Chain A
């Protein structure tokens, strides 16, 4: 099974009701692909209103509907504060850097390993599965 590449996209400095339309216009084609894998890099964000948060939630929902995922990376302090205030911080998977977020898409889940795998497979992963995934 092949996976679509992980797309990293920068969230603009302001993600308020005015900017969300442009942002969605840029993001929409990525969400329409099969199994979209998207990382939104948030280091530049300085202000976000509830429309901006709603947009992020909508994007996550659309990605999940297509069996994909959307993750947040490098959250600015302002973003952290807003997401926590609106109680949606735990809804998203977040990472310190985009690289970590991208790597997380390629990580093999534990339950994907064969049942009789040797002891080292939980640490290193199944070598056959790793080769197949790369």
Chain B
């Protein structure tokens, strides 16, 4: 029975988070939007695990770099989550463990890009090729951070990065790929998901054409939601609000009276105050990233914007994905429960 291992690594830590991160795993240098962030009701990582499950991989695990210890990943149940300061070493160990169990194929993926991929077909292609490593190669985007490997071909002396870079076989596809290399990519993924251009679909019921509303959301009678738009789980939209132009309001957020959200993403657990005009932006707690001006602003006023999330592990310090200026260090137990 094939297995799947997904790697989650931290992003760069420069002042705006738009720098480069050296990925030990894939050997490339690029910044990537955190794949654990909830978009249209579910993160890229969670959707990846669901696709792997659909392709028949019951044994799925997530290796999380220690610097992401305080982040929560909204994973399906029975996905094992492990913290590791050295994700490459941990991934290699997983392959060796799979080898010992007689597993014939392990899918390795880096939780970064979003790809519309038929994993079952990918697996079949690899098994038919008889090669030790097969990598997904998009005709337009080039090599992606998705491999199938034969664990029997690995030893503990192997350098996993080099083995993966020297993939023997390519699974060529022409499909939807979003590398999530910056915040503009994240917004594009949301827009493409809302407009049906890819398989990244909103979670929730389509209350009317183009407007998805998830469970528990409260939209006041005099609020206006213009399609396409997404309202997440337990979100509150007050009267006289306007949510428009492919905006998504993620779970547990609150948009207060009279505010306009246009072509913007409000990440989960964010309060946006009264009478504001949020446009062409990503809002996450107290961080407002404006995509037109390409600048991140920390909002000092809790009445304007604030985080509604509580992080149990860090006490009163709310954890945000777009918290570029605070370096994350520390190891703690990661669980499958959302914190």
Contact = CB atoms under 8 A, between A and B. Distances in A.
A49 B301 contact: yes
A7 interface: no
A92 to B, nearest CB: 15
A86 B276 contact: yes
B298 A85 contact: no
A81 B288 contact: yes
B207 interface: no
Contact of A50 (B279, B281, B294, B304): B304
Given A86-B276, A87-B276, A81 B293 contact: yes
A84 B293 CA distance: 11
A103 B234 CA distance: 53
A85 B294 CA distance: 15
Contacts of A84: 277, 279
Interface string A35-74: 0000000000001011000000000000000000000000
A133 B299 CA distance: 44
Interface string A86-118: 110000000000000000000000000000000
Looking at chain A's contact residues, the main secondary structure is: helix
A26 interface: no
Contacts of B275: 87
Interface residues of A, number: 13
B81 interface: no
Nearest to B303: A50
Given A77-B294, A81-B295, A47 B278 contact: no
Given A47-B298, A50-B303, A85-B288, A77 B293 contact: yes
A80 B293 contact: yes
Chain B CB within 10 Å, residue with most, of A47, A50, A77, A85:
A85
Given A50-B303, A50-B304, A82 B277 contact: no
A50 B295 CA distance: 19
B300 A16 contact: yes
A86 B297 CA distance: 13
A89 to B, nearest CB: 9
A47 B281 CA distance: 17
A126 interface: no
B290 interface: yes
The winner among B275, B278, B295, B297 for most chain A CB atoms within 10 A is B297
Interface of A: 16, 47, 49-50, 77-78, 80-82, 84-87
Q: Which A-B residue pairs are the 6 nearest by beta carbons?
A: A77-B295, A77-B293, A49-B300, A81-B290, A87-B277, A50-B301
